[in-house]
Structure formats: C-alpha cells, structure tokens
Amino acid sequence: MSAEDLEKYESEMELTLYREYRDVVQLFKYVVETDRRFYLCNQVDVKARGESGEVFFEVSMSDAWVWDMYRPARFARNVKVLTFKDVNVEELNHPDMDPSEA
C-alpha cells in the first residue's frame, strides 16, 4: 500500500466517522473532550483526585460513543478515563442542532 493509498484510506475513514457522528449526536446529552479522545454520552461524572501531591481527573461516562476511527465498535455502555490533563464537558442543546446543515 502506497503512502497515497494510506492517506486516501484514512481520509475516507475520517469522513465515515464524521457522518456517523452527525447521525448519532442527537442521541446524546453531553460532549466530553479529554487529551486523547472525544466522547458523546448521556451521563458524565468528573472527580478531581489527589495522590502523592499530584492531581488527576477521573471521568466516568455511561451510554457513550467514542470518536476513534480505529475502534471497531464505537458505542460503549460504560467508560472510565483517568487523566492529568484538562477535561471539557459540555451539555448539548439539541433544538439548535440540525445535522442536515453539516
């Protein structure tokens, strides 16, 4: 497989992932962004934890969809993330969202 073929494949995978996101976003209440992943979920709980003077975040999510084009299954019943980096949680406002405009 040439570099051009690989790039084309990855572009197609990203487009497929975006279309899937557009189709499922209406099913979820929250967007959660960590340093490594982007999630859609219906329940989220973020707790700051401290250990040995270090602070980290424990993020628990239920009914989640994971933005990751290399995962064979993007839906997960429960997800737990531990991170020392920032965590961003936003509540979606569905009346303003129209996937057909994307």
Contact indicator for 48, 66 with CB cutoff of 8 Å = no
- Whether 63 maps to a domain, the answer reads yes
Number of domains in the chain: 1
- Whether 100 maps to a domain, the answer reads no
- Whether 89 maps to a domain, the answer reads yes
Identify the band that residue 99 occupies on the pLDDT scale cut at 50, 70 and 90.
low
- Whether 9 maps to a domain, the answer reads yes
Domain membership of residue 56 as a residue range: 3-93
- pLDDT (0 to 100) of residue 27: 94
- Whether 27 maps to a domain, the answer reads yes
Give the residue with greater pLDDT, 1 vs 84. 84
> Mean pLDDT, the chain, as a whole number?
90
- CA-to-CA distance for 33 and 93, rounded, in angstroms? 17
Dihedral of alpha carbons 38, 41, 46, 52, sign? negative
Identify the band that residue 5 occupies on the pLDDT scale cut at 50, 70 and 90.
confident
- Whether 53 maps to a domain, the answer reads yes
- Whether 58 maps to a domain, the answer reads yes
- Whether 102 maps to a domain, the answer reads no
pTM (two decimals) = 0.80
